[in-house]
Amino acid sequence: MSTIRVLVGTRKGAFVFTSDGARKNWDVAGPFFAGWEIYHVKGSPADPNRLYASQSSGWFGQMIQRSDDGGKTWNPVGNTFAYDGETGTHQWYDGTQHPWEFKRVWHLEPSLSDPETVYAGVEDAALFRTTDGGQSWHEMKGLRTHESGPRWSPGAGGMGLHTMLIDPGNPHRMYIAISAAGAFRTDDGAATWKPINKGLKSQYIPDPNAEVGHCVHRIAFHRSRPDVLYMQKHWDIMRSDNAGDTWYEVSGNLPTDFGFVIDVHAHEPETVFVVPIKSDSEHFPLDGKLCVYRSKTGGNDWEAMTNGLPQRDCYVNVLREAMAVDALDPCGVYFGTTGGQVYASADGGESWAAIVRDLPAVLSVEVQTLP
């Protein structure tokens, strides 16, 4: 029987949950790296026991931790993230130019084929790669040095590179997203990048067709159909059918089109999950009711999935890295909240139960489906 391993990053440490395929009874291990912010934990698709974690602290800076035994033990690896060449500047909050400064690693994306190779998305936005299991990190500077770089500006949470999707059929193609620059695509293994933001509409941006400057919160695809992208933007759920060249809105009947997470069912490429959040300054579920919305039509038609989720007095948020799906059938869906709950559905979103309720605020959730 398959085993499910859920990797959770929180404001005060990492946790690893395991269960059998029934996904009813969970073993909870942790906290690992207690007291540190764990932005992201992710396993290698090529070696599921190889895990990487981004551990950071306002006092002590950035650490990268690696496990070779599925999260039982961890060892620190390289933590030097030096921008390659001239650092350059980007737009600051007051409109002036501000030098790029490394702050932390937001996202770790292991290679699909090599457990030693991992991409790191960092703040201030740049892409790094290790090919030696995390011992050394080297910037792939084609992204940061894109001609639009001086026009990138940080969102309220910083200018982080948070989303990375590697095309399973074409290792030279990758999508990334930056708050608040927008989405980008490379077709040459990260040497050069193209902004892919046509069709995004962002209120208050003077030029509605701006090449960059959009607050993209998250992008997702189904691995069988990597040209079809779904996006949760600051406002609007968007869809692209041509690898991001153009986008159109599929928010449809959602009660609010703001939110952070978006993910795609493991076996149904047209089934998409989001968690609507009330914008702009409140950032909690509408009317205190936590709802996952599911579309089985690739967007536009959404249904509220509430069975097992709190429908009163719930004022948590669900952050951009905090949703994932497993590969079992029926598909499992998982998300974590800033209130410390991690909810799981073993039936494609029809019903939900909390695995834990009282963790520190959840920053990221990833899932591994193990044979």
Partner 1 sequence: MIRVAIPFHLRTLAGVAGDVELEIEGVATIHTVVDALEARFPALKGTIRDPVTRKRRPLLRFYACSEDLSHEPMDAPLPDAVLRGAETLIILGAIAGG
Residue 76 or residue 85: which is nearer to partner 1 going by CB? 76
What is the number of alpha carbons within 13 Å of residue 292 lying toward its C-beta?
Answer: 31
**Min dist. Cβ of residue 333 to partner 1 (A):** 30
Q: Which is nearer to partner 1, 22 or 82 (CB)?
A: 82
Return the number of the residue (103 or 214) whose C-beta is nearest partner 1.
103
Q: Which of 33, 141, 32, 35 is nearest to 81 (CA)?
A: 141
Closest CA to 366 of 68, 148, 109, 194: 109
User: Minimum distance from CB of 84 to partner 1 (Å)?
Assistant: 12
Q: How far is the CB of 145 from partner 1 (least distance, A)?
A: 18
Instruction: Name the residue nearer to partner 1 (CB basis): 86 or 188.
Output: 86
Q: Determine if residue 49 is left, alpha or beta; phi over 0 gives left, psi from -120 to 50 gives alpha, anything else beta.
A: alpha
Q: Is the CB of residue 210 less than 8 Å from the CB of residue 312?
A: no
Extract the tokens encoding 293. 């919305």
Residue 115, CB-side half-sphere exposure with 13 Å CA sphere: 15
Q: Which amino acid is at 162?
A: H
Closest approach, Cβ 79 to partner 1, in A, equals 5
Residue 134: exposure state from Cβ atoms within 10 A (0-12, 13-18, ≥19) = buried
Give 200-251 as a DSSP string.
---TT-SSTT-SS---EEEEE--TT-TT-EEEEESS-EEEESSTTSS-EE--
Long-range contacts of residues 15-22, Cβ cutoff 8 Å, at least 24 apart: 15/356, 15/359, 16/70, 16/71, 17/342, 17/355, 17/356, 21/328, 22/346
CB 14 within 8 A of CB 52: no
The SS3 assignment for 150 reads helix
Q: Residue 120 and residue 329: Cα distance in Å, rounded? A: 31
59 vs 204, which CB is nearer to partner 1? 59
Q: Minimal distance in Å, beta carbon 75 to partner 1?
A: 8
H helix or E strand, kind and range, residue 308: none
Minimum Å distance from CB 57 to partner 1? 7
Residue (36 or 184) nearer to partner 1, CB: 36
Q: Which residues bind partner 1 (CB under 8 A)?
A: 35-36, 57-63, 76, 79-82, 102
Nearer to partner 1, 74 or 302 (CB): 74
Q: How far is the CB of 81 from partner 1 (least distance, A)?
A: 8
Q: Which is nearer to partner 1, 20 or 101 (CB)?
A: 101
Shortest separation between residue 72's beta carbon and partner 1, angstroms: 17
Q: How far is the CB of 29 from partner 1 (least distance, A)?
A: 17
In the bound state with partner 1, the residue whose beta carbon lies nearer, of 66 and 173, is 66
